[in-house]
Structures are given as structure tokens and as C-alpha cells.
Amino acid sequence: MQEKRDVRSALAASFRELVLEKPVEKITIKEITDRTGVIRVTFYNHFQDKYEVLEWICRQELLLPARALLENRMETEAVTFLFTALANHREFYLHAAKLEGQNSFARILKEGIASLVEAYTQTYGREGSGKFAWLTPARSAGYIAQSLTYIILEWIADGMKEPPARMAQIYLYLSGWQQRTADGGKKE
């Protein structure tokens, strides 16, 4: 199992290097495998295509650590972590965010965040969600994912000039989380 993860990590590292050199759309599987020192069949034993590599990187670097924070009801820390992790790999995400279309970075990020938030909502519920039957965990998660993805993409497009902690504060302010947590510790 560790060997499979090591190969995935090596392929992802090669992909990451290539993203810094050229647009994702122009990267070939051959370039990834040549740089990794494996054959194409090895690539396809681990990933379907280069877009799945990008998804895997996002899941490993952004989503799984954020999930751990959410599982511990650390919502503010999860949002702060996302911005910090993006900033820690600034150049990669500046380039990856340019990928558009059905396999876009925006789609990967939005779907990943929606999945995290939906799992969180189903586990911990949302105060007041019983008032509105239409407001399902999936719709609530979609809304949060859409708004957080928008803020992240705007921040990236602006060159990530604002510090990650400040961007987290901005998002929490806009989403209302900051106010709810300041009003007696109630979190939705």
C-alpha cells in the first residue's frame, strides 16, 4: 500500500513541476511519466488522466486536512487552513487555477468543499435547518462551496496578495460564521 502511495506521490510531484512550466491542458501523460521515470501503464494503474492527478493533489493537500479540522468542529480553523495551504503552494495554485472547462480547478475545489460541508452538516446538523425543508444538507453545502470557491478564486486571480488568515476572516465575515461564533459560541 505504501508503495502505491509513493508512486502516486511521485507522479503528482512530476505533474506539479510541469504545471509550473506550461498550462495543464498542454501537459502530456508521457511528460509526467518520463519525469517520474515510470512507464505509461504505471500512470494508468494510479490515475485515469492528468485531471485526476490534480484532483488527488487537491484532496491530499487541501481537503483531507480540512476534513480532519471539521470533524473536530473547528470550522474557522478549516477555512483558515484552506487559504494557508493554497498560499503554501502559491505558484502551483496560481497556475492550476487557470484550468477551465469540465475538469477545471474551480470544479474540483467546489465539489471537494461541497462534499466536506455536506458530511459535516449531516454529522452535526445545522441549527434552524428544520425550519426550511427545502434547505437540505446538499443545498447548504453547495451554497457554502460556491461562495468559498468564489472567494478563493478571486483571491488567486488577484495574485494571493492578502494574507491567508485575513482571507479566512473575510470569508467568515461574509458567510456569517464570524458573527455566529462571536454571539455566545453558537455555530451553525
List the one residue out of 87, 26, 76, 103 whose CA is nearest residue 179.
76
pLDDT score of 128: 46
pLDDT score of 134: 86
Contacts of 144 (CB under 8 A, 6+ apart): 113, 114, 117, 175
Looking at residue 131, the DSSP 8-state letter turns out to be G
Question: What does residue 100 show for φ and ψ, rounded to 5 degrees?
Answer: -120, 175
CA 92, distance to chain mean position in Å, is 13
pLDDT score of 183: 45
pLDDT score of 177: 65
Does this model's pTM top 0.85? My answer is yes
Domains of the chain: 1-47 (1.10.10.60), 50-182 (1.10.357.10)
pLDDT tier at 135, thresholds 50, 70, 90: confident
Residue 153 buriedness (CB in 10 A; 0-12 / 13-18 / 19+): middle
pLDDT score of 152: 98
Looking at residue 24, the DSSP 8-state letter turns out to be G
What tens digit of pLDDT does each residue of 41-97 get?
999 999 999 999 999 999 999 999 999 999 999 999 999 999 999 999 999 999 999
pLDDT score of 178: 52
Q: Is residue 158 pLDDT above 90, yes or no?
A: yes
